[in-house]
């Protein structure tokens, strides 16, 4: 959804499609890289031994996910 919103915005305001795409990449690059890194870290945690992983998720799973991905949640 974010990608579509930003792409529509830059297409609406740019002088050309080429400039719009450059602006789009510029605006999205940092956030997309952050999301990919955070997602990789979560995926790696699923490679932990099941007993350790499951205990950690039961104890702190919701809080850990919220802390890791809270930048994606807009403030009310």
The model's pLDDT over 22-65, given as tens digits with 9 standing for 90+, comes to 999 999 999 999 999 988 988 888 888 999 989 988 998 888 88
Residue 50 CA from chain centroid, whole number = 26
Number of domains in the chain: 1
Say what the pLDDT of residue 72 is. Answer: 83
Give the integer Cα–Cα distance in Å for 24 and 7: 6
Closest to 38 (Cα-Cα) out of 60, 73, 71: 71
Domain region containing 61: 2-72
Say what the pLDDT of residue 46 is. Answer: 83
Tell me, yes or no, if the pTM score tops 0.85. no
Cβ atoms of residues 23 and 14 within 8 Å? yes
The model's pLDDT over 5-15, given as tens digits with 9 standing for 90+, comes to 999 999 999 99
């Amino acid at each position: 959804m974010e990608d579509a919103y930003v792409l529509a915005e830059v297409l609406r305001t740019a002088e050309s499609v080429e400039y719009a795409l450059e602006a789009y990449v510029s605006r999205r690059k940092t956030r997309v890289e952050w999301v990919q890194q955070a997602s990789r870290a979560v995926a790696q945690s699923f490679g932990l031994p099941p007993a350790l992983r499951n205990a950690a998720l039961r104890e702190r799973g919701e809080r850990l996910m919220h802390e890791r991905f809270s930048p994606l949640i807009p403030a009310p």
